[in-house]
Structure 1
Amino acid sequence: MKYSQVLIGAAAASLASAHATIYNVWVNDVDQGTGNSAAGYIRSPPNNSPIKDITSKDMTCNVNNVAAAKTINVAAGDKISLEWHHNNNSPADDIIDSTHKGPVMVYIAPASSNGEGDVWVKLAEDGYDGSQWAVQKLIANKGKHDFILPSTLADNKYLIRGEIIALHEADSAYSANPGRGAQFYMECVQISVSGGGSTVLPAGVSIPGAYSDTDPGVVFNLYGGFTSYKIPGPAVWNGGSSGTAPKPPTTTPAVPISGQAPGKAEDPKSTPIATPAPIATSAKSPCKPKTSTDAPKPTKTPCTGKTPTTMATVATPAVSGTSAASGATVALYGQCGGQNYQGPTTCASGSTCTNYNPWYSQCVAA
Structure 2
Amino acid sequence: MKNVVALVASAALAAQGVSAHYIFQSLAKGTAKGQAYQYVRRNTNYNSPVTDLASNDLRCNVGGAAGGSTGTLELSAGDPFTFSLDTAVYHQGPISLYMSKAPSTAAAYDGGGEWFKIYDWGPTFSGGQASWNMKDTYSYTIPRCIPSGEYLLRIQSLAIHNPGGMPQFYVGCGQVRVSGGGSASPSPTVRIPGAFKATDPGYTANIYNNFHQYTVPGPAVFTC
Which TM-score applies when normalising by structure 1?
0.53
Residue 86 of structure 2 is matched in structure 1 by 85
Partners of 2:60 and 2:214 lie apart in 1 by 25
Preserved CA contact (<8 Å) 2:196 2:218: yes
Residue 106 of structure 1 is matched in structure 2 by 97
Partners of 1:54 and 1:8 lie apart in 2 by 31
Residue 49 of structure 1 is matched in structure 2 by 48
- Decide which of 140, 143, 151 is 1:150's aligned counterpart: 143
Partners of 2:158 and 2:12 lie apart in 1 by 25
User: In 2 relative to 1, CA 213–155 (structure 1 residues): closer, same or farther, beyond 3 Å?
Assistant: same
Q: Could you report, residue by residue, the CA deviation over 1:257-282 in whole angstroms, capped at 9, with x for unpaired residues?
A: xxxxxxxxxxxxxxxxxxxxxxxxxx
- SS of residue in 1 equivalent to 2:53: coil
Residues 164-183 of structure 1: matches in 2 within 5 Å?
A: 164-169=157-162, 171-172=163-164, 180-183=165-168
Preserved CA contact (<8 Å) 2:116 2:186: yes
Residue 66 of structure 1 is matched in structure 2 by 66
- SS of residue in 2 equivalent to 1:134: coil
User: In 2 relative to 1, CA 101–79 (structure 1 residues): closer, same or farther, beyond 3 Å?
Assistant: same
Once the two structures are TM-superposed, the CA of residue 196 in structure 1 deviates from its matched residue by 1.5
Identity, % of aligned positions: 33
Partners of 1:203 and 1:167 lie apart in 2 by 24
Amino acid aligned to 1:66: A
Partners of 2:124 and 2:188 lie apart in 1 by 29
Preserved CA contact (<8 Å) 2:32 2:82: no
Q: Could you report, residue by residue, the CA deviation over 1:87-110 in whole angstroms, capped at 9, with x for unpaired residues?
A: xxxxxxxx233xx11111000001
How many residues are treated as equivalent by the alignment?
A: 209
Amino acid aligned to 2:181: G
Partners of 1:104 and 1:5 lie apart in 2 by 38
- SS of residue in 2 equivalent to 1:218: helix
Which TM-score applies when normalising by structure 2?
0.84
User: In 2 relative to 1, CA 5–225 (structure 1 residues): closer, same or farther, beyond 3 Å?
Assistant: farther
Partners of 2:20 and 2:219 lie apart in 1 by 27
Partners of 2:195 and 2:7 lie apart in 1 by 38
List 4+ stretches of structure 1 deviating above 6 A: 2-6
1:115 and 2:114 correspond: no
Once the two structures are TM-superposed, the CA of residue 16 in structure 1 deviates from its matched residue by 4.1
Residue 297 of structure 1 is matched in structure 2 by none
- SS of residue in 2 equivalent to 1:233: coil
**Stretches of structure 2 lacking an aligned partner (at least 5 in a row):** 104-108
**Bigger relative contact order, structure 1 or 2, given CA contacts below 8 A and separation 6+?**
2
